[in-house]
Amino acid sequence: MKLIFEKGAPGQHLTLLPACDVPEVTLSNARTEPLDLPHVSETELTRHYTALAKRVHGVNDGFYPLGSCTMKYNPKINEDMANLPGFTQIHPLQGEETVQGCLEVLHESEKLLCEVTGMNAMTFQPAAGAHGEFTGLLLIKAYHTHRQDTGRTKIIVPDSAHGTNPASAVMAGYTVVNVPSSPDGCVDVEALRAAVGPDTAGLMLTNPNTVGIFDRNILEITRIVHDAGGLCYYDGANLNAVMGVVRPGDMGFDVIHLNLHKTFSTPHGGGGPGAGAVGCKEFLAQFLPGPMVAKDEKGYHFTVPAHSIGRVKNFCGNFAVVVRALTYVLTLGREGIPEAAKNAVLNANYMMKKLGEKYAMAYAGPCMHEFVMTLVDLKEATGVSAMDIAKGLLDHGIHPPTMYFPLIVHEALMIEPTETESQETMDEVCQVFLDLWDLAHENPQALHDAPTKTPVRRLDEVGAARNPVLRYNAG
C-alpha cells in the first residue's frame, strides 16, 4: 500500500481553509521553503484513510481476547455523550462559572468511582494506567516524606506484575523488590513477610492478578505491608472481574488507579487517549494533584489540595474519556456493574473449560476474568509455539490473545473474552482454537507459515523494534 506522500500529483489539492478575512501579517520567522505536503484530492484522501481503517482489527470487527487489556464492546451512547457540544465546544481556560456541567461530570465521576472502589477521593488527570501508577507512587512518597520517614526506598512488586509496575516504581525513584508467586499463582506470603522492613515504602499489586486469580490471602498481604509501615497500591487494570462485587478499599489498599479505558468502556489501543484515574483514602487526599473539583452552595469550583504533589497533566486530563466512563457507570447502575463483572468471569471460565479439552492451563481453575494457557507441551510435541497459534488465529479474523505474558508462564497465551461476547461467538472461537491444535499435529508447517490471509505476513518484530523507521524520507 502506498503512503499518502506517494499518492497524488502537484496541482491536486483540497482546500480546507476559508478565504482570509483579516489583514495579512508576515511572520519574521516564517519558513522560506514550502512544506512538502501530499498533493491529493479529497477523494484520494478519503480512500487512503478508509483503506487504512480496513486493515485495522478493532473490537467492532471481531473477537479480541487480549488478556489484561479488557477489549470489551464500547457502547455507542458513550460516544454520543462525549460529543455533546457542551463538552466539545469549550475552552479549557474558561471561567469555572461557565463550565459548571463539566465540573459536575468530574465531581460525579469521582463520587461514583470512589463508591465502586472504596476510596475517598479521586483525580482524573493521569492519561493512562502507567501514568496513574506513577502518580499513585508519588502520593505514597509524599506521605512518607511528609511524616519525615525518609528511609523508605523500596517498592515490593510480585513477579506476576504487569511490566508497568516496576517501571513506574523506578520512575518514581524507588528500588524494586521482587517477590515470587506460589505454585497456585498467588503471592508467596512467607516471601513477602521476609521482604518487608523499615525500608518498605509500599507494595504494588493487582487482584485478581495477571494470571486471573483472586488472591485469597489479600487481607493478610495488605496487613503485612501496613504493619511494616508501608502503603498498599492497587493496580486496578483488572477491576473488570470484581467491580461492584468487592472493593480494593476493603481489601486494605490505600491508593489505586483505574484504567477507565479498559473497565469503564472507552475505546483504547493504538495509543489513543485514556484515563488512569487515581483514587486514594482520606489521609492521602491532601497530596493529590490539583486542581480537584469541590462543591459548595454557589456551585462547583476548583481547589488545590493542601500538600499537592502538583500537576501531572495539563488541564483536567482526557476529559472526554471521563464523560464516556460516567455514561457507562450511569447506564449500568448499581445492578449492572456487578452483573457485568460476573458475566466477565463466567465467560472466561466457559472458555477455560472448553479449551481445557486440549490446551494445558498454567493454573487450575476456576479463574476470574482471564486465564493463561501454557503451550510448552504442544511446542515440544509438534514444534508449534504460542506465537504460531496466535498467527494462525489471524487467518480466522480473530485477534490473538496476549502472548508470552506474564513472564512466569512459558509459551503463554492469556485470554480475556470480557462480558460482551455471546456464547455463540465463544463457541466459534473455541472451535478455531481446537482446530488449530489438531492442525499443529497434522501439519505444523501450515502454522509456521501463518498468517496467509492478512495484508502482511509475519513481520520482522525484532528488526522493527531495533531499527524503527518512524519518519518518511521524502528524498
Ligand X SMILES: *Cc1c(COP(=O)(O)O)cnc(C)c1O
Q: Which residues bind ligand X (CB under 6 A)?
A: 68, 128-130, 162, 164, 206, 210, 235, 237-238, 259, 274, 276
Q: Which residues contact 208 (CB under 8 A, 6 or more apart)?
A: 214, 215, 238, 241, 242, 368, 369
In whole angstroms, the minimum distance from the beta carbon of 128 to ligand X comes to 4
* Sheet order of strands, 200-205 included: 121-123, 276-280, 255-259, 231-235, 200-205, 154-158, 175-179
In whole angstroms, the minimum distance from the beta carbon of 176 to ligand X comes to 15
Instruction: Between 168 and 200, name the residue whose CB sits nearer to ligand X.
Output: 168
**The pairing of beta strand 154-158 with beta strand 292-296:** unpaired
Roughly how many angstroms between the first and final C-alpha of the chain, as a whole number? 19
**Helices within 209-309 (DSSP H only):** 218-227, 248-251
Q: Which of 370, 462, 457, 461 is nearest to 413 (CA)?
A: 370
> What are the phi and psi torsion angles at 56 (to 5°)?
-95, 140
**The pairing of beta strand 231-235 with beta strand 154-158:** unpaired
In whole angstroms, the minimum distance from the beta carbon of 262 to ligand X comes to 6
Q: Which of 415, 364, 375 is nearest to 182 (CA)?
A: 364
Residue nearest to ligand X (CB): 129
Sole residue written with cell 489583514? 23
Q: At what angle do helices 423-442 and 319-355 cross, to 10 degrees?
A: 60
In whole angstroms, the minimum distance from the beta carbon of 237 to ligand X comes to 3
Instruction: Between 237 and 320, name the residue whose CB sits nearer to ligand X.
Output: 237
Instruction: Between 131 and 396, name the residue whose CB sits nearer to ligand X.
Output: 131
Length of the chain, in residues: 475
Instruction: Between 130 and 426, name the residue whose CB sits nearer to ligand X.
Output: 130
- What one-letter code names the amino acid at 265? S
Instruction: Between 158 and 252, name the residue whose CB sits nearer to ligand X.
Output: 158
What pairs with residue 332 in β-bridges? Answer: none
Instruction: Between 128 and 337, name the residue whose CB sits nearer to ligand X.
Output: 128
Q: Which of 410, 416, 414 is nearest to 378 (CA)?
A: 410
Instruction: Between 235 and 388, name the residue whose CB sits nearer to ligand X.
Output: 235
In whole angstroms, the minimum distance from the beta carbon of 228 to ligand X comes to 24
In whole angstroms, the minimum distance from the beta carbon of 169 to ligand X comes to 12
In whole angstroms, the minimum distance from the beta carbon of 103 to ligand X comes to 25
Instruction: Between 119 and 130, name the residue whose CB sits nearer to ligand X.
Output: 130
Q: Which residues contact 179 (CB under 8 A, 6 or more apart)?
A: 156, 157, 158, 159, 187, 188, 191, 192, 195
In whole angstroms, the minimum distance from the beta carbon of 260 to ligand X comes to 9
In whole angstroms, the minimum distance from the beta carbon of 210 to ligand X comes to 6
In whole angstroms, the minimum distance from the beta carbon of 165 to ligand X comes to 7
Instruction: Between 68 and 123, name the residue whose CB sits nearer to ligand X.
Output: 68
Instruction: Between 210 and 308, name the residue whose CB sits nearer to ligand X.
Output: 210
Instruction: Between 78 and 135, name the residue whose CB sits nearer to ligand X.
Output: 135
The C-alpha atoms of residue 343 and residue 331 are separated, in whole angstroms, by 16
DSSP string of 88-100, one letter each residue: HS--TTS-GGG-H
Q: Which of 447, 439, 444, 430 is nearest to 357 (CA)?
A: 430
> What are the phi and psi torsion angles at 66 (to 5°)?
-75, 100
Q: Which residues contact 74 (CB under 8 A, 6 or more apart)?
A: 59, 265, 266, 267, 324
In whole angstroms, the minimum distance from the beta carbon of 288 to ligand X comes to 19
